[in-house]
């Protein structure tokens, strides 16, 4: 179930994450040039509306259609979404996330149906007019159907969110978000749900608290700080400071997940920190003008509306302080070295296999002397995987193995020529499905995984 949820979440976030740069551009334009912005400019502020109404939804629909049916799916997804946008007064991010993939699916089925039945010489005619005619029909359906229906749904969602805020229970959403994050659903939650909802809120209020839920680095900061100061395990204590810098300033939250999973009771710390910060943000009526991607202290400073920068940052410190106090108690009471549930399960599988005289159910057998291409994979292929790939590159260079290339990618889109795939153990099932031909190496600590050195030693020994 976790793998299926991750895959669905990956599909949702896959429509938004490639366009995060556009969201940030729109957020910066909003923060700078609207009448209440840092540099009010009536002329430049005219870009805010078209960005929000047309550019961002069309980019989302384009990516959604492309993920389903390539370039043809991308084009017809954008055509369909024009009808959806014009069919309602609401900003159609959610509508675009439906219309884009749906249109891509329809054109994909059409192409499959006519494959092999087109007379030679008429291929271009059929290809162009099929997108034109089907796109027109879908745009009309979007105008009269998808747009108005999504408008009704969004009106209910907006009213529901406002009701939760008025009742003072909206901050409790942190109780669900923090556990979901460590299951690597962070990108799905943030970019698949909160970013579109946040954009809807910015359209009416100029800021959104949705951008401050999953992205707050405070809860993880408190845990890493507590490990640094109070951990009884030397290796963990030494790796925590580096992880803390990457987490807080780099915004790569995945680096804190293994530390939390080492002692799942630490979820109490992160959940408490998140809820505390959200209560503060709700009481102070704070929000960000655009998505802080990645969720770092620097991104919060960039996206805070004029006059609220220090207040927004203070929410990070509230989350970190609450998380630190609770995490410190838990870490002090814990054993010298905690293990994750996944470690225990892997150990159990190995012991069970050994008792039956079988090899441990581990990896594909590959001649390591032939390795030329290593892929470090994470959920989105942008954050922790880029950092992990850089670590491995550095170790390969130090070992003199400079002919081996190291790239990073999404765990769902590992290149077919990958010979070795490195990923977090929670993503192992998806990595096996994406790259069954590759040797799979799983880690539980991005900064100080012993598997890095084991891989380098194995490669070097194989060459010798």
Catalytic residues: 378
Radius of gyration of the chain from Cα atoms? 24
Decide: 46 and 35 in contact? Cβ < 8 Å.
Answer: no
Which residue, among 163, 346, 414, 177, has the nearest Cα to 274 in the 3D structure? 177
CB 377 within 8 A of CB 422: yes
Distance CA 82, CA 200 (A): 17
- Alpha carbon distances (Å) from 346 to 108, 352, 400, 426, 427: 41, 10, 32, 12, 14
Residues 6 or more apart whose CB falls under 8 angstroms from that of 116 comprise: none
Q: Give how far the C-alpha of residue 123 lies from the chain's centroid of Cα atoms, to the nearest Å.
A: 39
Q: How far apart are CA 236 and CA 243, in angstroms?
A: 10
**Quick one: residue 251, left, alpha or beta (phi over 0 = left, psi -120 to 50 = alpha)?**
left
Cα-Cα-Cα-Cα dihedral sign, residues 81, 290, 241, 339: negative
Q: Helix, strand or coil for residue 341?
A: helix
What lies within 8 Å, CB to CB, of 80 at 6+ separation is 61, 99, 100, 102, 103, 135, 138, 139, 141, 142
What is the distance between the alpha carbons of residues 196 and 396, in angstroms, rounded to a whole number?
41
Q: How many residues does the chain have?
A: 464
Distances (CA, A) of 16 to 13, 71, 182, 190, 199: 5, 17, 20, 10, 12
DSSP state of 305: P
Q: For residues 337 and 348, give the distance between their C-alpha atoms in angstroms, rounded to a whole number.
A: 18
């Amino acid at each position: 179930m976790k793998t299926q949820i991750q895959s669905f979440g990956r599909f949702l976030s896959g429509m938004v994450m490639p366009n995060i740069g556009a969201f940030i551009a729109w957020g910066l334009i909003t923060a700078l040039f609207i009448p209440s912005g840092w540099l009010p400019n009536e002329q430049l502020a005219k870009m805010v509306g078209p960005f929000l109404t047309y550019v961002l939804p069309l980019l989302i629909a384009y990516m959604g259609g492309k993920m389903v049916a390539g370039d043809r799916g991308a084009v017809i997804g954008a055509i369909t979404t024009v009808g959806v946008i014009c069919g309602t007064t609401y900003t159609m991010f959610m509508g675009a996330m439906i219309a884009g993939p749906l249109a891509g699916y329809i054109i994909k089925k059409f192409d499959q149906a006519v494959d092999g039945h087109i007379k030679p010489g008429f291929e271009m005619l059929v290809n162009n007019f099929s997108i034109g005619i089907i796109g027109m029909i879908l745009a009309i359906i979007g105008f009269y159907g998808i747009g108005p229906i999504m408008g009704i749904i969004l009106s209910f969602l907006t009213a529901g969110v406002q009701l939760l805020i008025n009742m003072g229970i909206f901050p409790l959403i942190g109780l669900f978000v923090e556990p979901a994050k460590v299951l690597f659903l962070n990108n799905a939650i943030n970019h698949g749900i909160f970013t579109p909802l946040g954009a809807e809120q910015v359209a009416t209020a100029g800021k959104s608290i949705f951008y401050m839920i999953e992205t707050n680095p405070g809860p993880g900061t408190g845990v890493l700080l507590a490990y640094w100061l109070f951990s009884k395990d030397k290796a963990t204590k030494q790796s925590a400071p580096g992880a803390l810098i990457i987490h807080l300033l780099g915004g790569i939250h995945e680096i804190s997940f293994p530390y939390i999973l080492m002692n799942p009771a630490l979820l109490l710390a992160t959940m408490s920190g998140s809820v505390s910060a959200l209560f503060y943000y709700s009481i102070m009526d704070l929000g960000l003008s655009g998505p802080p991607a990645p969720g770092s202290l620097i991104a919060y400073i960039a996206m805070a509306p004029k006059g609220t920068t220090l207040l927004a940052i203070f929410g990070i410190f509230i989350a970190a302080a609450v998380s630190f106090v609770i995490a410190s108690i838990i870490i002090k009471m814990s054993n010298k070295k905690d293990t994750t549930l996944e470690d225990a399960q892997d150990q159990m599988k190995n012991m069970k296999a050994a008792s039956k005289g079988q090899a441990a159910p581990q990896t594909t057998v590959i001649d390591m002397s032939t390795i030329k291409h290593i892929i470090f994979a994470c959920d989105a292929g942008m954050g922790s995987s880029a950092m992990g790939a850089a670590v491995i590159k550095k170790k390969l260079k130090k070992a003199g193995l400079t002919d081996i290339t190291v790239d990073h990618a999404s765990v769902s889109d590992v290149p077919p020529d990958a010979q070795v795939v490195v990923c977090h153990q929670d993503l192992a099932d998806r990595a096996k499905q994406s790259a069954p031909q590759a040797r799979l190496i799983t880690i539980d600590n991005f900064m100080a995984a012993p598997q890095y050195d084991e891989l380098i030693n194995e490669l070097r020994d194989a060459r010798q």
